[in-house]
């Protein structure tokens, strides 16, 4: 396979790997592991993992915004 024929595939792979590394998920997985999913009724307030996920999304957004040289198309691709 000619690697020059598929430069977008390599860029996509690199961007997605970078996105996975930039999104902090340790706290989220710990919170999810501690949740009880056997509920009779929906809870009246959000679980802790929702707060952790929102904080992680904000941190990710800040990291992407701070990345130098990242084109608008690349930012859209990271969020895809």
Half-sphere exposure of 20 (CA within 13 A, CB side): 6
Contact 35, 49 (CB under 8 A): yes
> In this predicted model, what pLDDT tens digit does every residue of 15-28 receive, in sequence order?
778 777 777 777 78
Q: What is the pLDDT of residue 1?
A: 46
Average per-residue pLDDT for the chain: 78
User: What residue spans define the domains of the chain?
Assistant: 3-79
Q: Let me know how long the chain is.
A: 80
């Amino acid at each position: 396979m000619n690697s020059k024929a598929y430069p977008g595939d390599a860029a996509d792979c690199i961007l997605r790997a970078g996105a996975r590394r930039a999104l902090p998920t340790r706290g989220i997985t710990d919170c999810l592991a501690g949740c009880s999913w056997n509920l009779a009724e929906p809870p009246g307030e959000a679980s802790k993992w929702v707060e952790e996920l929102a904080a992680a999304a904000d941190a990710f957004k800040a990291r992407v915004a701070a990345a130098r040289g990242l084109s608008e198309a690349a930012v859209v691709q990271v969020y895809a």
